[in-house]
Structure 1
Amino acid sequence: MTFAALMVAANDSKNAQNPGREIAQACKIWREAEPQDALLLKAAIAWELASDRRAQPANEAEVRKRCGQIEEATAAQRAAKVD
């Protein structure tokens, strides 16, 4: 799924939502998505919470950067548990 398609699908709601608010549609997509798409959606929500703005296709680079930060933090946490 492209980032633009992911954002359109996740933000498909009859009710307005605040940035970072996980609506039912976004949760459904997260559960059913391929792992990389689920991580990208998680990163988009994290980006929304940090920026207080809704993620749009124009924010893809920033969201992908956040995705990398999540992956790095997860890897560091896993490494710490092994030691």
Structure 2
Amino acid sequence: KAPPAELAPNCSAGGVIGVLPGVVGMIQATEAIKLLIGIGEPLSGRLMRFDALAMKFSEIRFKRRADCPCCSELRHSETQAPAV
């Protein structure tokens, strides 16, 4: 169950620390480069969280579900309906 709206404001109401979108963008760009040129260990199977106020990173590991329409092999099968 989601928390009440007043406990979880959106970015326009609660604000965003100015450099935070840049930090997240830099991390995303680094992950893309790692995948494109095949170096390092990508975050595949892991979700990285960043707490900017505490300056802490943490990871959550997860596994793909065989029946997931987004990340399973089903997504890449030829039986998939064509895009509209």
Q: TM-score category by the smaller chain?
A: 0.3 to 0.5
Larger Rg: 2
Give TM-score scaled by structure 2 length.
Answer: 0.33
If each structure's strand is expressed as a fraction of its own residues, which one has the higher value?
A: 2
Q: TM-score, normalised by structure 1?
A: 0.33
